[in-house]
Chain A
Amino acid sequence: MYRPSLVVTFTKKSSVKMAKLTSLFVILLSFFCISEAVFEDQVGKFDWRQQYVGKTLFAHFESNTQSSKKMFVATDKNIFASFNSRTGDLLWRHVDKTGPEGSIDILLLHGQDALMVVGDGRLLRSWDTNIGGLNWEAVLDTGSFQAACFVAIQDTVKLVAVLKKAAISLHYLSNGHQKWVENLPDSDAVQYQAVYSGGEEEVYVLGVVPNSHLTIIAYSLEDGEIIKQRSVEASWLSSIESSCVVVGQGVLMCVDPATLALYTLPIQAEETPEFSQILLQSLDLEVFPGFQPVLVSSQPHPARSPLSEFFLQLGPDHHVLLQLNADGYTIAPLRDFQPAFLVSFATTGKKTVAAVMTPKNETACAINLFSVDSGRRLLDTTVLFPLEPNGGKPHTLYVHAFLKKDDSVGYRVLVQTQDHALTFIQQPGRVVWTREEALADVVTMEMVDLPLTGTQAELEGEFGKKAAIQDGLFPMVLKRLSSQVTLLQAWLAHLWKLFYEARKPRSQVKNEVTIETLSRDEFNLQKMMVMVTASGKLFGIDSKSGSILWKHYLENVQPNAAFKLIVQRTTAHFPHPPQCTLLIKDKDTGLATLHVFNPIFGRKSHIALPALPRPILQSLLLPVIDQDYAKVLLLVDDQYKVTAFPSTKNVLQQLQEMASSIFFYLIRSDQGNLSGFRLRKDLSTERIWEVVLPTEVQKIVAVKGKRPNEHVHSQGRVMGDRSVLYKYLNPNLLAVVTESTDTHPERAFVGVFLVDGVTGRIIHEAVQRKARGPVHFVHSENWVVYEYWNTKSRRNEFSVLELFEGTELYNSTVFSSLDRPHLPQVLQQTYIFPSPITTMEATLTEKGITSRHLLVGLPSGAILSLPKMFLDPRRPEVVTEHSREENLIPYAPEMPIRTEWFINYNQTVARVKGIYTAPSGLESTCLVVAYGLDIYQTRVYPSKQFDVLKDDYDYVLISSVLFALFFATMISKRLAQVKLLNRAWR
């Protein structure tokens, strides 16, 4: 069990016992650290993981048969993945580097090979789509990526052409070897944007000098020799990418929004070619005002030329199917689609069809297939796509067409909506699965208690204050009786359900969680996870099963917006519904909007929102509550004026009374400025303190206060000599972390400042020399733990700061920042940590009795539960009697990583971004959610389950012993009586 090489910590119960019995060393160790491993039968019982891929950029289906199950997507999160199209489950997934280095430029699919250009033309990769293995990888020459296409030689696809800014290269599909590479002529002036091959002996490169002319170069496939080079006058053309496609037998088709005309040009023409103009007016077509027309064409097979039919989009919901006639410069309209949101071509065998999505009614869209040759609608091909009321609009259509047994065309369709959700629909309109890919980028989250059941709530309501005042005695009695009856009803219903389910086999009994059946469990272990994603979609997820119970897409959210989620009213105030507020702040303008909703049902509340005309600097949640039990949110704008939400009379009055004791701080990291403010009665503010860290020396990278819902059970620590060392528990303390502007390894440093948020007093100021970020830190109770990179020793280190008041308290009843004249004692120790980390959080429990653990997210995807015991600055260098008495672990410079501390065993969480901890109703249990690309939910027991009876607890033995004792007492009593009587007779 303690073997360090153990990667996956499934442990059988018997082996644990064996290990403990046999190895004295293990027993010694288990004094210090609590074993954390998951038993094999516990896997997946209290935890779940969901894997995501992100917003789809490219999607392809495996092959055009009805039985194929695979589809492939490449996403904006630099992920190449394969789904099972029947279930929507991930078959395999490749997670590349984040950022532009791993970005996927293009994904091409041919047979069993998936070709991918990665990192703006850095690498060319070929994947085996069956198993997701890498066939080969080729490093491309430098230069930014422009386009790529397959190239066929004599009807078989053998090559891939990659066009870069200044060069074109051909690679063999079989092994990635380069066939040839050629520099493009005059690449400084000409922007080469497209590459085309239609199965001939040449490959064509198209470039443009904006608003001047078009350049066409034909390269020989054999050796890369330039066969011909043409220049065509095109003063109206600015970009080939956005306005041109190739249709028919190598005809370049462009659309010009200025002259409202289509232009055609045969690419392969021998003599000097020229664009021929076709006015849209002549085709009876009109462009929606202000809309940039878009052309959509299709090349079903790389060895043949593209279809001569193409779509022209004339407005947001107007598409036209056009056909290029055989002469190469006249166009015939086939069918007008209005309204139509989305169109797509799909090919199966020799047949090509067009799928068109049209709005049907408020709640659904209809998708139909049309024959490309004639524009006629194919019968029985309608599929309905349900539109969710709070979802995004359809964005892209991916069609998987196949030939049925009777040779007619069947299809399935994948619809991507604006909120990054993927919906897969089968004929006749059945939604097979939906993937909420917005969850791949969770920004912030909260866990909210579930409400009581209806009957419990009824009882609560009966004894509510308001009810008692309103009603008289008699109605109260009646109410009581009726609630008793409902309780009885509920109990009977429960019994009936138990009886009914007992007859069914175990496997059929499913506890489907729906929003109606949601209720708090006995120990409050099941909660509602409210997740906010970067795309602006909100989710309500059941923490027990991981099923999404509600979703709400906020439109018009800027892509770089900052979110802050605030729980204003918890579930505890029946009949008032719980209330969450999401503060959405535009990073550029600083303007903020509020979205107020019920976290259990996701519905938007219709509360009057305050007008926020000025940029918001800071928001703070006060412990003050209004008459409806909602906590008051204060928003500070850039003129230091305060807006209260809710701003009822009651609240304003309370604020006036408390104004002189409401302090807040603002931090401007660009100026290194920390300043404190006090609220005035008229809701203006006054600046009362100011600390300035010169930005020439160091810059503020992060500031953390303490969590408001944190409880600390013990005020001090009992030392070996039975005296108490009191903790410095300042709820207003801020930990400010800075990094030096000088990045030289010898002079770089990380600064840690502990500042009182009320008085601005610098409690402690420490400098970690020869260190640099990224700094991850946790601030809780009386300690701060931070992790940094040691530039001298080139390793990651953990440092812990603990603050103590000393052996006596200054004022034991109440803490006030205004009345603590003495500075605390600060103890600090540093350790080597053998791994880099990505995020860190501390466990949190109901009453704070349970010992604390640090949850550390590692780049490997593991989440380490590190006992705080190991990060204790009082760990002695030399073991003494006192330190042994206190159970202090002797100091060791290196922090161990034990594999049994990984709380997510083999369920790695890719790209962990944050860890959220929440207390449960059980003191021993802390709920943990790790999010990043994946979402993982589990429970941790930092001090083991001391308040829970074990599963194998022997009830029978205990009760039988009890009964036996009871009867023994009875019998012996009786015997004693008989004996006494006999003695009396004697």
Chain B
Amino acid sequence: MASVPRSFLLLSIIPTILILCADFACCNTGRKTGDGLDTDFSGFSVPLEHSFEVDDVSRFRMRGALQLRGGRETSVSLSQSQLSEEDRKTLKEVAAVDGLYKIRVPRVSLTDRQTERQMDGYLTAFVRACSLVESHLSDVITLHTDVSGYLIGVSIVTIPGACRGTEVEDEVDLEAFNTTLTIIAPTNAPQPETALFIERMDIEHEKRGKPQEQKSFFAKYWYLILGGAIFLMASSSAQPSAGGAEEQQS
């Protein structure tokens, strides 16, 4: 999963990247089946806002628009504009004072479109402005949903993530975002693997071969019993009186 976005990152230079998170069957299972069918699949868009200020007071501005598409296959795409001259200057200044670059998206539900889609409040995340500058605006934004399709969190990281203090001279590097966008739904935790274990045990049993037929006690030890009986008979017939005398004494 993780390797997919990285390869995309290396290949693409275009500012807008569409990453479809295909195989997330798990995030559908929690939903009522009716929901997915009722919705039109045109999707909807929510603003992605960012804030970077030298004095660290948040003033969010529009960065782009997230195109969200619910339904069976949740997908998300981002269209965003280039950074203006002024913004680039501010970003470099913020990076110089080790300020933060924050993004936020409104809380929305991807599935439940009949009711009010947008709840109050935002989901916020941040990254150090210097690492954003040094990575030439290469960032990875991840949206997290819960089992019923609500957006619960957003995260942003840059690749590379470190701040080494290297100067970014070329203004062109700070013009356009090189964004990788993913949407992640919760994974299903495994259940105890009883079926597989039993199967394995069965195979092992078969490998060992069938256990020997259960013989009855007499069938197994008939010779011992017979021998014992003969011995007893022989000894009792030889000295019947002596044995009796001893018993009486004791």
Residues of A within 8 A of B (CB): 660, 678, 680, 686-694, 697-698, 747, 749, 751-752, 755, 759-762, 764-769, 790, 797, 799, 811, 818-823, 826, 828-832, 877-878, 891-894
Knowing A688-B102, A692-B121, A694-B152 are in contact, say whether A761-B157 is a contact too (CB < 8 A): yes
CB neighbours (8 Å) of B197 from chain A are: 877, 891-893
| B153 touching A760, Cβ below 8 Å | yes
Contact B119 A694 (CB under 8 A): yes
Residues A893 and B192 in contact in the complex (CB < 8 Å), given A761-B155, A767-B187: yes
Q: Are A818 and B187 in contact (CB under 8 A)?
A: no
With A767-B188, A878-B200, A893-B192 as known contacts, state yes or no: A689 contacts B124, CB within 8 Å.
yes
A sample of 17 inter-chain contacts (CB < 8 A) reads: A689-B125, A751-B186, A759-B125, A762-B152, A765-B184, A765-B186, A768-B189, A799-B190, A818-B131, A818-B161, A821-B161, A829-B190, A830-B193, A877-B193, A878-B200, A891-B193, A892-B197
Q: Tell yes or no: B128 within 8 A of A by CB.
A: yes
Min CB distance B112 to A, Å, is: 10
CA distance A749 to B30 in the complex (A): 10
Chain B 171-211: CB-based contact to A (< 8 A → 1; otherwise 0): 00000000000001111111111101100100000000000
Alpha-carbon distance A797/B193, docked complex (angstroms): 12
Q: How many residue pairs at the A-B interface have CB separations less than 8 Å?
A: 142
A693/B152 in contact, CB under 8 A: yes
The answer to whether A692 touches B157 (Cβ under 8 A) is no
Judging by beta carbons under 8 Å apart, are B144 and A830 in contact? no
Instruction: With CB as the reference atom, state the residue of chain B lying closest to A698.
Output: B146
B124 touches A762 (CB 8 A): no
Chain B residues with CB under 8 A of A829: 190
Q: Are A767 and B189 in contact, CB atoms less than 8 angstroms apart?
A: yes
Q: Considering only CB atoms, which chain A residue lies closest to B158 in the complex?
A: A821
The docked-state distance in angstroms from the alpha carbon of A660 to that of B187 is: 35
Q: B191 contacts which chain A residues (CB < 8 A)?
A: 790, 797, 830
B98, B102, B187, B193: which contacts A765 (Cβ < 8 A)? B187
Give the residue of A766, A799, A821, A832 whose beta carbon is less than 8 angstroms from that of B187: A766
Query: Are A760 and B125 in contact, with the CB atoms below 8 A?
Result: yes
Q: Mark B126-165, 1 if CB is under 8 A from A, else 0.
A: 1110010000000010101011101011010111111100
Give the contacts of B200-224 with A (CB-CB under 8 A).
200
Q: How far is the CA of A764 from the CA of B28 in the complex (A)?
A: 18
Instruction: List residues of chain A with CB within 8 A of the CB of B157.
Output: 761, 820-821
Q: Which residues from A are CB-within-8-Å of B126?
A: 688-689, 759-760
Query: Would B155 and A760 count as touching, CB distance under 8 A?
Result: yes
Q: Are A752 and B189 in contact (CB under 8 A)?
A: yes
Q: Are B152 and A691 in contact (CB under 8 A)?
A: yes
A749:B147 contact, CB within 8 angstroms: yes
A512 to chain B, nearest CB (A): 53
CB A250 to nearest CB in B, in angstroms, measures: 69
B72 within 8 Å of A (CB atoms): no
| Chain A CB within 8 A of B56 CB | yes
B159 contacts A877, CB within 8 Å? no
Task: Determine the distance from Cα of A751 to Cα of B147 in the docked complex, in whole angstroms.
Answer: 9
In whole Å, how far is B236's beta carbon from the nearest beta carbon of chain A? Answer: 38
Given contacts A692-B121, A751-B146, is CB(A830)–CB(B200) below 8 Å?
no
Q: Which residues of A contact B123 (CB under 8 A)?
A: 690-692
Q: Shortest CB–CB separation between residue A732 and chain B, in angstroms?
A: 14
Interface residues of B in 92-128 (CB under 8 A from A): 98, 100, 102, 104, 107, 119, 121-128
Closest A-chain residue to B150, C-beta based? A694
The interface residues of chain B lying within 8 Å CB-to-CB of A819 are: 131, 161-163
CB distance from B25 to the nearest CB of A (A): 13
Chain A residues within 8 Å of B125, by CB: 689, 759-761
CB contacts (< 8 Å) of B242 on chain A: these are none
Which chain B residue shows the least CB distance to A756?
Answer: B155
- Checking A752, A823, A830 against B2 with a beta-carbon cut-off of 8 angstroms, the contacting residue is A823
Distance A818 CA – B144 CA, assembled complex (angstroms): 19
What is the minimal beta-carbon distance from A316 to any residue of chain B, in angstroms? 53
Query: Which residue on B lies nearest to A892, using beta carbons?
Result: B197
In this complex, the interface size class of chain B, counting residues with CB under 8 Å from chain A, is 35 or more
**B144 to chain A: which residues have CB within 8 Å?**
691, 762, 765
A877 with B162, Cβ < 8 A, contacts A692-B152, A760-B155 known: no
Q: What are the 5 tightest A-B residue pairs by CB atom distance, in nearest-first order?
A: A761-B155, A691-B153, A819-B161, A893-B192, A821-B157
Inter-chain CA distance A691–B152, complex, in Å, is 6
CA distance A230 to B3 in the complex (A): 89
CA distance A759 to B121 in the complex (A): 18
Beyond the given A689-B125, A759-B126, A821-B157, could you list 9 further A-B residue pairs with CB under 8 A, ordered by the A residue number?
A690-B104, A694-B119, A761-B125, A761-B155, A762-B144, A818-B127, A818-B128, A877-B196, A877-B200
Q: A691-B152, A830-B192 are in contact. Are A767 and B131 (CB under 8 A)?
A: no
Nearest chain A residue, comparing its CB with the CB of B107:
A692
Interfacial chain A residues near B155, Cβ < 8 Å: 759-762
State in angstroms the CA–CA spacing of A688 and B159 once bound together.
20
Q: CA–CA, A832 to B197, complex, Å?
A: 13
Residues of A within 8 A of B119 (CB): 694
Check B189 against A766 for contact (C-beta < 8 Å). Answer: yes
Select from chain A the residue with minimum beta-carbon distance to B184: A765
* Chain B 48-84 interface mask (CB, 8 Å, partner A; 1/0): 0000000011100000000000000000000000000
Query: Which residues does chain B contribute within 8 Å of A821, judged by CB atoms?
Result: 140, 157-161
Q: Is the CB–CB distance between B192 and A767 below 8 Å? A: no
A761 cross-chain contacts in B, Cβ below 8 A: 125, 142, 153, 155, 157
CB of A766 within 8 A of CB of B188, answer yes
Cα–Cα distance between A690 and B122 once the two chains are bound (Å): 8
CA distance A820 to B140 in the complex (A): 12
Query: Quick check: A828 and B162 within 8 Å, CB to CB?
Result: no
Neighbouring B residues of A698 by C-beta, 8 Å: 146-147
Q: State the Cβ distance, B56 to closest chain A Cβ, in Å.
A: 6
Q: A680-B56, A877-B200, A893-B197 are in contact. Are A693 and B189 (CB under 8 A)?
A: no
Cα separation A828 to B193 with both chains bound (whole Å): 12
Please report the C-alpha to C-alpha distance between residue A766 and residue B147 in the assembled complex, in whole angstroms.
9
| Distance in angstroms between the alpha carbons of A767 and B26 in the assembled complex | 10
How far apart are B53's CB and chain A's nearest CB, in angstroms? 11
Complex: A755 Cα to B157 Cα, angstroms: 14
CA distance A751 to B152 in the complex (A): 13
Cα(A767)–Cα(B28), bound, Å: 13
- Closest Cβ–Cβ distance, residue A835 to chain B (whole Å): 15
Residue of B nearest to A771 (CB): B189
Q: How far is the CB of A756 from chain B (nearest CB, A)?
A: 8
Which of A680, A760, A891 counts the most chain B CB atoms within 10 A?
A760
Q: For residue A829, which residue of chain B has the nearest CB?
A: B190
A689-B124, A822-B2 are contacts. A697–B192 as well, Cβ < 8 Å?
no
* Contacts A691-B153, A760-B125, A760-B155 given; does A766 touch B186 at CB 8 Å: yes
Cβ contact of B192, chosen from A749, A826, A831, cutoff 8 A: A831
Q: How far is the CA of A759 from the CA of B107 in the complex (A)?
A: 18
A881 CA to B157 CA, complexed, in Å: 39
Nearest to B6 among chain A residues (CB) is A822
- Chain A residues with Cβ below 8 Å from B162 are 811, 819
How far is it, in angstroms, between the C-alpha of A731 and the C-alpha of B140 when the chains are bound?
23
Q: How far is the CA of A688 from the CA of B126 in the complex (A)?
A: 6
CB-CB < 8 A to B153: which residues of A? 691-692, 755, 760-762
Per the bound structure, the CA–CA distance linking A828 and B190 in Å amounts to 7
A820 to B, closest residue via Cβ: B161
Q: Which residues from A are CB-within-8-Å of B26? A: 767
- Across the interface, name the chain A residue whose C-beta is closest to B155: A761
A761 to B184, CA, bound (A): 12
Contact in complex: A660, B98 (CB < 8 Å): yes
Instruction: Report Cα–Cα, A762/B186, bound state, in Å.
Output: 10
Measured between alpha carbons, how far is A762 from B184 in the docked complex, in Å?
10
Contact partner, B100, options A688, A691, A822, A893, Cβ 8 Å? A688
Chain B positions within 8 Å of A751 at CB level: 146-147, 186
B203 nearest CB across to chain A (Å): 10
Bound Cα distance A818, B30 (Å): 33
Task: Chain A residues near B159: list those with CB within 8 A.
Answer: 821
Q: How far is the CB of B154 from chain A (nearest CB, A)?
A: 8
Question: In the assembled complex, how far is the CB of residue B200 from the closest CB belonging to chain A, in whole angstroms?
Answer: 7
